[in-house]
Structure formats: structure tokens, C-alpha cells
Amino acid sequence: MSIHIAAKQGEIADKILLPGDPLRAKFIAENFLEDAVCFNEVRNMFGYTGTYKGHRVSVMGTGMGMPSISIYARELIVDYDVKRLIRVGTAGSLSQDVHVRELVLAQAAATNSNIIRNDWPMYDFPQIASFNLLDKAYHIAKDLGMITHVGSVLSSDVFYSNFYEQNIKLGTMGVLATEMEAAALYYLAAQHGVEALGIMTISDSLVNPDEDTTAEERQTTFTDMMKVGLETLISES
């Protein structure tokens, strides 16, 4: 066991989906995996391992924000030898051209967090996705007919930001959406030499607020990213 995950060695696959919401992890396990077994309930951060199209995969919640995902992702990588990690979560659009329910593949993640800067104070260390996973996810999503955008996102340390107008301005500079986890996941992947990707569904829009969705819709209806995430997990390297 690790400090925050109760699984024994061998109970977690080397490929994992990481939704922020633990109830979304439960939903994925119940609706997409066969023979799913729960390996973690510590702090109600549910984790499951099962099979998808004959491939052994896991899914586990990470909570909200970079400190939370950093704890779980690091333990999954270091203590359980997970090699391929895909975040499937929600994001808020910063672009007039990116709408609710569409997918965003985070090619890179800008951040206002000090998590990475604490380690590298003299550098702006770039947070980028695994190109292998990004390329596969893009073509899988397009083949499935899903509206999919590829580009940068903002991984923010705060949800209720005092820099609302500045965040909106980032959208005019090509940043597609804002979320709260991808930069930390990409940094951990770089540290440990594993693959990581963020696949986000737009759940609300900072520029078109009339498109916003409900909490229940966010938990149970954003299945496109789940399908793309699972197909990408099991794709050949």
C-alpha cells in the first residue's frame, strides 16, 4: 500500500484513467469495464481495475486541483508502476470557438501554480503531453466523429479567480480552456519518464455562460472523453 491508496501490489493496471470526481471513476467502472474490482476507498477516492476490450485497465479519482492529483499520480507512478495516465475531466472554455460538450486535448498546460516553479525557480519548465498519446487520442476522436480541439489549456490553482479578465484574454491568445490538474500531471510524467495526457470535456464557458451544464450532467453524461481515453489507453505504443 501507499500512503493514500489501499491497493496491494498487482491490483492496479499499468494503464489508468484519472477523472477528478471519484463518482465519475465509479461510473466508468460500472459502465465501461468488465469484472471491475474496487481497489481503493480511502477518503472515498474510489479506484477500480477491470478489463476493457480484453485489456486490463484501471480508473481512479484524483480530487480537485494540482496538489490533490500530484499526490495520487505520484503514488500510482512510484508505488504501483503505472506507465500510462490519462486525465478525463471537465474544463471551462476560454474560446468563442470551443463549446460545451466538445473535447479538448491538452497539448500543453500553462499554469499559475508554484508547484513546478518551486522546483525550477529559474526556468519556465514546459508542461507538455505525451505526443504518442496525443496523436492517438486525436485520431481516435476524429474517427468517432467527435468535435475535438487540440491546443493549450490553463491549469489554475484557483477556481474562483480574481484574474477573470486576464484568463479571458488568454483565450484570445490561443489558450482553449481552463482546468485545474493537467500541468501537475504532465510535470510528474516528465519527472518519472511515463506517458500522460489530458482529455477534457467542456462543461461550461467563460465566454458563453448560457452553455453551462449541471453537476449531474458533468458526472454521468460526458462519455465521449471516457471512450477516447479508454481507446487511447489500450492503443499500441
Sign of CA dihedral 214, 209, 139, 69: negative
User: What percent of the chain stands above pLDDT 90?
Assistant: 88
Is the per-residue pLDDT at 237 higher than 80? no
pLDDT band at 220 (very low <50, low <70, confident <90, very high): confident
pLDDT value of position 234:
98
Q: What digits encode the pLDDT tens for the residues 44-88? A: 999 999 999 999 999 999 999 999 999 999 999 999 999 999 999
- Is 34 labelled as part of a ligand binding site? no
Tell the residue number behind the cell numbers 508505488, with chain if given.
79
Rounded CA gap, 156 and 138, in Å? 24
Q: Which amino acid is at 199?
A: I
pLDDT value of position 212:
78
State the average pLDDT over residues 3-28: 97
Supply the mean pLDDT for the chain.
95
Alpha helical stretches, state H, the chain: 22-32, 66-80, 131-143, 164-172, 182-192, 215-220, 223-233
Span of 16-20, 80-84, 123-127 with lowest mean pLDDT: 123-127
State the average pLDDT over residues 11-33: 97
203 or 212, which is more confident: 203
Q: What digits encode the pLDDT tens for the residues 131-183? A: 999 999 999 999 999 999 999 999 999 999 877 788 889 999 999 999 999 99
For this structure, is 97 an active site residue? no
Structural domains in the chain? 15-234 (3.40.50.1580)
- Is 89 labelled as part of a ligand binding site? yes
For strand 84-93 and strand 34-40, is the pairing parallel, antiparallel, or unpaired?
Answer: unpaired
pLDDT value of position 216:
79
- Is 4 labelled as part of a ligand binding site? yes
State the average pLDDT over residues 87-96: 96
Tell the residue number behind the cell numbers 492529483, with chain if given.
69
Rounded CA gap, 55 and 122, in Å? 43
What burial class does residue 103 get, using C-beta atoms within 10 Å of its C-beta: 0-12 exposed, 13-18 middle, 19+ buried? Answer: buried
- Is 181 labelled as part of a ligand binding site? yes
pLDDT band at 214 (very low <50, low <70, confident <90, very high): confident
pLDDT band at 34 (very low <50, low <70, confident <90, very high): very high
Is the per-residue pLDDT at 219 higher than 80? no
The 3-state DSSP class for residue 219 equals: helix
State the average pLDDT over residues 9-18: 98
Choice among 119, 204, 210, 212 that is catalytic: 204
pLDDT value of position 162:
79
- Is 57 labelled as part of a ligand binding site? no
Q: Residues with Cβ < 8 Å from 185, sequence gap 6 or more? A: 18, 69, 73, 85, 87, 196, 198
Torsion of Cα atoms, 24 then 232 then 110 then 193, to 10°: 110
